[in-house]
Amino acid sequence: MSVKIARIFFIVLLAVSISGCSSILTRMGPLESKLENGEVSVGEFSKYKFSGGIVNNKIHLEKTPQCSEIIEKVHVMQKYPRGRVFVWAEMLLFGLGILDAANVQAICINSKIELPLAKYETANFLVCGEKEPAANEMLVIADKQRTFHKQAQTDANGNLDLAKILYDENRVLNLSIRLASDQTEAVSFIYRPGR
């Protein structure tokens, strides 16, 4: 009989001694800190993104306003779970590990502190307006063989008829078309008269 009582006493002592160990270790543990990206917001207007196409020697050009992306840096301090081995032992031996695990999660969530540091512009851009026709946009039209170099302007609807600009050309041309304001982006196009 005394052996049974000793076993029961030992089991109860073991249950009490390891019950909640993970919670205690997590609560006593230090706050760990890290930098995170916080809220993303739209900054000032930066540029237009141009799009469009060429069909039957007619250019249709559209532009979409682009604004700079602003990200807030946040200093996050939080406790993280410790002693997970005890939680598994409690679950296997007594079934009390579920309560301990839930308590650990609550401690971690309640310990979270966020301190906003600064906002800064990234190299990314966000759409900040509706797409619209690129009216009165100056285009540079050049032959890849460098036989001519012309400038033309789109109409109020962002359209430009290449047949009207190249009316005196009767040969197939390999054209490079770009915005006059942007030297970097160009589109190659094969112009066939009479289309």
Query: Are residues 34 and 73 both part of a single domain?
Result: yes
Query: Are residues 153 and 103 both part of a single domain?
Result: no
Query: Are residues 121 and 140 both part of a single domain?
Result: no
Domain that holds residue 158: 135-191
Query: Are residues 123 and 139 both part of a single domain?
Result: no
Q: Is residue 6 part of a domain?
A: yes
Neighbours of 26 (CB within 10 A): 22
Q: In total, how many domains does the chain have?
A: 2
Query: Are residues 46 and 123 both part of a single domain?
Result: yes
Q: Is residue 61 part of a domain?
A: no
Q: Is residue 95 part of a domain?
A: yes
Query: Are residues 122 and 152 both part of a single domain?
Result: no
For position 25, what pLDDT does the model report?
A: 77
Task: Enumerate the β-bridge partners of residue 66.
Answer: 47, 127
For position 103, what pLDDT does the model report?
A: 80
Q: Is residue 12 part of a domain?
A: yes
Q: Is residue 85 part of a domain?
A: yes
pLDDT mean values, one per 10 residues, the chain (195 residues): 71 56 79 88 88 85 92 91 71 66 84 89 89 89 78 88 81 81 75 70
Query: Are residues 50 and 91 both part of a single domain?
Result: yes
Q: Is residue 149 part of a domain?
A: yes
Residues 6 or more apart from 172 whose CB is under 8 A from it?
190, 191, 192, 193
Query: Are residues 99 and 179 both part of a single domain?
Result: no
Compute the C-alpha angle 136/139/142, nearest 5°: 160
Lookup: tokens for 30: 């230090």
Q: Is residue 41 part of a domain?
A: yes
Q: Is residue 43 part of a domain?
A: yes
For position 86, what pLDDT does the model report?
A: 65
Q: Is 166 helix (H, G, I), strand (E, B) or coil?
A: coil
Query: Are residues 44 and 109 both part of a single domain?
Result: yes
Residue pair 149/159 in contact by the 8 Å Cβ criterion: no
